[in-house]
Amino acid sequence: RTGTRVERLPLSRFTTLGVGGEAEVWFVESPEGLAEAMERPYRVLGGGSNLVVSDAGVPERVIRLSGPLAERDLTPDPALSTPECVVTGWVGGGVPLPGLVRQLQKLGLSGLEGTVGIPAQVGGAVWMNAGTRYGEMFDGLHTVEIVTPEGTRQVTPDELPWGYRQSGIPRNHVVTRVRLSLTVSTPGAVLARMDLADQARKGQPKMKTPGCAFKNPGGVSAGKLIDDAGLKGTRVGGALIAPEHANFIVNLGGATAADVHALLDIIRARVGVPLELEYELWP
């Protein structure tokens, strides 16, 4: 009735690092299905692009927004849009961000092009306000719908204490859908800004990875700090500190979560300043 499908699956299939043991994955397609999934301890899985999941998996239900919760309606809302600014219909939390960014570029709508190259889902990218110096998720949001076991609320960005790599939305509060607020531009102009943001990625490794391991402390590149500590190329088992960019740990094939944890410990011990993890460690 709710459309939910439940399957025990290796989470390595859902993480960009390609690591993670089994869990019960709940592919949730409706608000009713989501409410049912939230009746027991759960975690929320987006694009799996910021996750280091234990080789033993996790005991909680893993919720993945699917079906209608991964669909988008980019039609301008006539009541909220103006000739300069489009407010869209609802975009599901399970929508893959890269395809959405490409689609907005083709429509000549500006606001999210700075996030090009981030392999997240919309919900995960909003939850941590993913971005680059060319723009972040909160640049293009009008309304965020958040579901908890206690109920559903819709908030505007100014009601959240968002900032660099944080939305202020508590863990396990599920971003089910958003409305986007975008500036009317042209496909060419949006593409030019996308290309700039893309250029900044040229030095990033192409292998399996969960992106940057640590947040930049006080605007300094954590990658530069790890590089200056002489750690590029350090390897534990199948995990390597990328020679291209020291804030990326890559899976050479056969890496385990324990290998990645060992590298994180080495980095913390060798870099002189305290670093805040950007990854999510499960559990």
Residues 220-279 touching ligand FAD, rule: CB under 6 A, are: none
Residue 48 within binding range of ligand FAD, rule CB under 6 A: yes
Residue 143 within binding range of ligand FAD, rule CB under 6 A: no
Between 83 and 151, CB nearer to ligand FAD: 151
Residue 6 token pair? 């439940």
Residue 50 within binding range of ligand FAD, rule CB under 6 A: yes
Residue 112 token pair? 């999210």
Between 57 and 93, CB nearer to ligand FAD: 93
CB-CB contact of 142 with 87 (8 Å): yes
CB of 178 to ligand EPU, least distance (A): 20
Q: Report the sign of the C-alpha dihedral through residues 152, 158, 161, 162, in that order.
A: positive
Q: Which residues bind ligand EPU (CB under 6 A)?
A: 132-133, 200-201, 203, 211-212, 215-216, 221-224, 227, 245-247, 278
> 């998996």: which residue's tokens?
57
Q: Is the peptide bond before 96 cis (omega within 30 degrees of 0)?
A: no
Residue 111 within binding range of ligand FAD, rule CB under 6 A: no
Distance of CA 27 to the CA centre of its chain: 18
Q: Is 102 a catalytic residue?
A: no
Q: What are the backbone angles phi and psi of residue 275, rounded to the nearest 5°?
A: -115, 135
Q: Which of 5, 102, 165, 193 is catalytic?
A: 165
Q: Is 212 a catalytic residue?
A: yes
CB of 179 to ligand FAD, least distance (A): 15
Residue of 80, 196, 223 lying closest to 141 (CA atoms): 80
Q: Is 85 a catalytic residue?
A: no
CB-CB contact of 264 with 280 (8 Å): no
CB-CB contact of 61 with 7 (8 Å): no
Assign 139 to helix, strand or coil: helix
CB of 105 to ligand EPU, least distance (A): 18
- Judged by CB under 6 A, the number of residues near ligand FAD is 32
Between 66 and 115, CB nearer to ligand EPU: 115
Which partner, ligand EPU, ligand FAD, none, binds residue 246 by CB below 5 to 8 Å per kind? ligand EPU
**Catalytic residues, which ones?**
165, 212, 278
